[in-house]
């Protein structure tokens, strides 16, 4: 092996692990770190990848997903890279994994206390839509001054009679910090609340790490008369496994001009199809159980 175990040098991994500990100690707080160069471009998962490489151990099993898919080009390339610099086992099975690196989705199967979910985050600052200055957003967080975000949501309701934020929905963590949950859909937001596992968020380009420890309160911003609502798929189901309780991707058939739906989480979808065919396969529980 021509690289250090896990590609990153030991001092870098030590620094990142220390910053992770600080992030876990202050849920939702963005901890600056010295983001390193990797053989992938910034903006393509370098933050999440550095967290994964810093936490890797020989007994770990790694799973990488991109918008729910294990087989996308980005997920496959990152998974192959991790395997080549560490020789750890990789898997597509959520239940078998100990470290899961994800882009824009949380798996349908509920994670356990021995698992860590690592998010790739493009823009960690949730206040960026209301304030372009980094100095000012840091002040707003320190003083817990989130009035401008509330005004932004109110103006959204005035314009559209609804809150139009589809992804990166602002959440209050541990009754203190306002946090960007990464561009996950609203469907996944409530999975962050009081979960058994640790959530880590890494933004390589912006040089920030933040975390949601297990059993931490996470609440999406909402008004008394305009409650937070997640995406609904009433009357729709996956065309492959027939599931109706998962986050569905809408797919258009160019030949027939028809649209159909399929599970965003391809691993879960494959398991359900196997079970439907009579195969004895273990499927994790639902997040609301």
- For every residue of 213-253, which 3-state class applies, written as one string? CCCCCEEECCCCCCCCCCCCCCCCCCCCCCCCCCCEEEEEE
- pLDDT tier for residue 17 given thresholds of 50, 70 and 90: very high
Phi–psi pair at 193, nearest 5 degrees: -80, 125
Both tokens of 61, joined, read 């099993």
Given the residues 6, 28, 68, 202, the one annotated as active site: 28
Residue 26's region, left for phi above 0, alpha for psi from -120 to 50, else beta, is beta
Judge whether residue 276 has pLDDT over 80.
Answer: yes
Quote the pLDDT of residue 256: 87
28 is catalytic: yes
DSSP state of 108: S
Candidate list 45, 68, 269, 284, residue with the active-site label: 269
Return the closest-CA partner of residue 218 out of 271, 261, 255, 182. Answer: 182
For the chain, domain boundaries: 10-127+163-220
The dihedrals phi and psi of 261, each to the nearest 5 degrees, come to -125, 150
CATH top-level class for 10-127+163-220? alpha beta
Q: Which residue has the tokens 């990166």?
A: 168
Residue in 45, 48, 68, 238 annotated catalytic: 238
- What whole-number distance in Å separates Cα of residue 232 and Cα of residue 247? 9
* Residues 85, 3: Cα–Cα separation, whole Å: 7
Annotated catalytic, 238? yes
Question: Under 8 Å CB-to-CB from 142, ≥6 apart: which residues?
Answer: none
Provide mean pLDDT across the span 234-261.
Answer: 92
Confidence of residue 10 (pLDDT cuts 50, 70, 90): very high
Q: Of residues 45, 47, 263, 285, which has the active-site annotation?
A: 263
């Amino acid at each position: 092996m021509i690289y250090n175990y896990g590609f990153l040098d030991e001092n870098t991994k030590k620094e990142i692990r220390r910053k992770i500990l600080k992030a876990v100690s202050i849920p939702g707080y963005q901890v600056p770190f010295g983001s390193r160069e990797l053989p992938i471009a910034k903006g393509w998962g370098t933050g999440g990848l550095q967290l994964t490489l810093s936490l890797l151990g020989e007994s770990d099993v790694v799973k990488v997903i991109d918008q729910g898919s294990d087989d996308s080009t980005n997920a496959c390339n990152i998974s192959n890279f991790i395997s080549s610099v560490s020789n750890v086992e990789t898997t597509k099975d959520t239940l078998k994994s100990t470290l899961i690196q994800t882009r824009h989705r949380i798996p349908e199967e509920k994670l356990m206390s021995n698992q860590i979910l690592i998010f790739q985050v493009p823009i960690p600052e949730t206040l960026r839509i209301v304030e372009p200055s980094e100095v000012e957003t840091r002040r707003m967080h320190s003083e817990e001054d989130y009035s401008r975000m509330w005004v932004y949501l109110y103006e959204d309701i005035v314009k559209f009679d609804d809150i139009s934020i589809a992804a990166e929905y602002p959440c209050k963590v541990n009754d203190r910090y306002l946090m960007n949950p990464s561009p996950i859909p609203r469907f996944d937001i409530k999975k962050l609340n009081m979960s058994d596992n640790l959530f880590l968020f890494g933004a390589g380009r912006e040089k920030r790490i933040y975390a949601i420890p297990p059993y931490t309160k996470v609440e999406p911003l909402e008004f008394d008369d305009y409650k937070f609502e997640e995406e609904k798929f009433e009357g729709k189901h996956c065309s492959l496994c027939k599931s109706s309780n998962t986050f569905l991707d809408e797919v258009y058939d160019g030949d027939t001009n028809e649209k159909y739906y399929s599970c965003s989480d391809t691993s879960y979808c494959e398991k359900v199809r196997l079970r439907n065919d009579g195969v004895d396969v273990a499927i994790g529980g639902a997040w609301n159980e």
